[in-house]
Amino acid sequence: MEVSAALNISSAEWQVMRVAWTLGQVSSQTVSDVLAEKMDWKAPTVKTLVGRLVKKGALTADRDGKRFLYRPVISEQQAMDTASEVFIEQLCQHKVGKTLLKMVQETTLSQADIAALIATLQEKQKTAPEAVSCNCVPDNCQCADGECNCK
């Protein structure tokens, strides 16, 4: 029995979710209006995506007269965190650091974000290993000399 099968939200569906997360509760009409503007999608396209999201359990539908109002089942932050995990997991663990660095470099962060990041990093520093071994297979990674625990 599947327990918490991290519902898989596609890229197009993600757009719909963002509107739902933003408004908390939306009619398909509203989503259509927003995404007709932003993505140039036709109403039936949005309806299909909404339908798929309901089926996947990412949205719930509550009848409101003639129509339905849809609400996100999972929070945006939760979805983003799950997506991050999936993203990170598929990478060579040795190179995740460099990739996070790139992300930090390329992103606009607030003072608060930066402060939180620095604080967390300083904390991690206390127990961080010299090197993170890569988990590439076969065990023959060309990591630069000594940078990696791989052997």
x/- track of binding to DNA for residues 54-93 (CB under 7 A):
x------x---xxxx-------------------------
Tell me how far apart the alpha carbons of residues 90 and 9 are, in angstroms, rounded to a whole number. Answer: 17
The residue within the footprint of DNA, chosen from 47, 60, 95, 147 (CB under 7 A), is: 47
Give Cβ neighbours of residue 141 (< 8 Å, ≥ 6 apart).
92, 94, 134, 148, 150
Q: In terms of Cα–Cα distance, which of 135, 137, 138 is closest to 148?
A: 135
Q: Which of 19, 53, 58, 69 binds its own copies (CB under 8 A)?
A: 19
Q: How far apart are CA 142 and CA 127, in angstroms?
A: 26
Pick between residue 54 and residue 92 the one whose CB is nearest to its own copies.
92
Q: Are 147 and 95 in contact (CB under 8 A)?
A: no
Q: Does 8 bind DNA (CB under 7 A)?
A: yes
Residues forming the site for DNA (CB under 7 A): 8, 10-13, 27-29, 39-42, 44-45, 47-51, 54, 61, 65-68
